[in-house]
Amino acid sequence: MQWNLEQLRLFVSVAELRSFSAVARESRRAQSAVSQAIALLEADLGVLLFERSSGRQPQLTEAGAALLEEARAVLQQCERLEGRALGLARGEEARLRLAQDEAMPYQPVLVSLEALARAFPLLEVQLASGAQGDVARKLLERRADLGLLFHHEHMPAELERQRLGSIEMVTVCGAGHPLATQAYVERQRLARHRQLLMAPQGNRYPGGEQISPLVWRADSFYAMAELVMRDLGWAWLPRHVARYPAYQGQLVELRSDWTPPPLVVELVCRRDENLGPAANWLADCLARELLAQT
């Protein structure tokens, strides 16, 4: 087949405008040239695309109607190809892989990704979520370009981080826990009950210091919330996790004389790789959305 993209464009235009003359005026060419291009396309495809009757508008044949959407799809794919090539020529990434701690507040992330899709419509995005340690591991293994996680002191030297914002922590227990009926809980009273902390011990991962001699540990704030919900201990959780809809009525926020400082949210990347325009744009958007939430 020798048909070309210009013939497809004229085919779609004639089908939409229902006029060879209108397409000729719009494309600034002779009507005979438009008719000839359509005739050559029909010859190459081996089917009649339009019914032509003197004095009447061209009507799509059954074959023409069947091929119209295919032609539109081919032209749209060509537009995507040209747009992707132009973006790459400007230094834009073809793909952006974002790995995030599963306990990240979902609203700022989703709003930022929606905005990213509008700003970079041809960008391929891969989003991965995981528990503590997964994000840094993906970056180190080059399975992610950007990491969104909570600050902790044991960050590998190969990674560089940028502070984006912070998230408030709250003290919680289950609705059936002995502490749930207390109007105010002092540190000494908290120490009498099992405490749930982030694992492993000595990591200094956000989640608070150990103040109870009896401790259980988990590698996920959501896993901790599930344990708290079953009255297996009390914990310090990010406020948005404690208020997750599935936990409503089952977790109780306690007034206490001490809670950990806010969680610091950081954007992390490898030191030996430069961020592209889309990654930098997403970092700025995430910072704005996190600030708006606090």
Per-residue pLDDT tens for 46-98? Answer: 888 888 776 678 888 888 888 888 888 888 888 767 656 665 665 667 889 99
In the chain, % of residues over pLDDT 90: 30
Residue 114 is predicted with a pLDDT of 94
The CA distance from 180 to 233, in Å, is: 11
215 beta partners: 195
Point out the least confidently predicted range of 4-8, 18-22, 206-210.
206-210
Mean pLDDT of 250-274: 87
CATH value of 95-166+264-293 in 3.40.640.10, 2.30.40.10, 3.40.50.2000, 3.40.190.10? 3.40.190.10
Residue 233 is predicted with a pLDDT of 96
Residue 179 is predicted with a pLDDT of 95
Q: What is the DSSP string of 157-176?
A: TTEEEEEEEEE-EEEEEETT
CATH value of 5-89 in 2.70.180.20, 1.10.3720.10, 1.10.10.10, 3.40.30.10? 1.10.10.10
Q: Which long-range contacts (CB under 8 A, 24 or more apart) does 246-252 make?
A: 249/175, 250/174, 250/175, 251/172, 251/173, 251/174, 251/175, 251/225, 252/172, 252/173, 252/174, 252/175, 252/177, 252/179, 252/180
Task: Please check the confidence at residue 173 and state whether its pLDDT lies above 80.
Answer: yes
CATH class of 169-261: alpha beta
Task: Please check the confidence at residue 17 and state whether its pLDDT lies above 70.
Answer: yes
So where are the chain's domains? Answer: 5-89, 95-166+264-293, 169-261
Question: Mean pLDDT of all residues in the chain?
Answer: 85
Mean pLDDT of 162-174: 90
pLDDT tens per residue, range 145-155: 999 988 877 78
Residue 207 is predicted with a pLDDT of 63
CA atoms within 13 A on the CB side of 282: 31
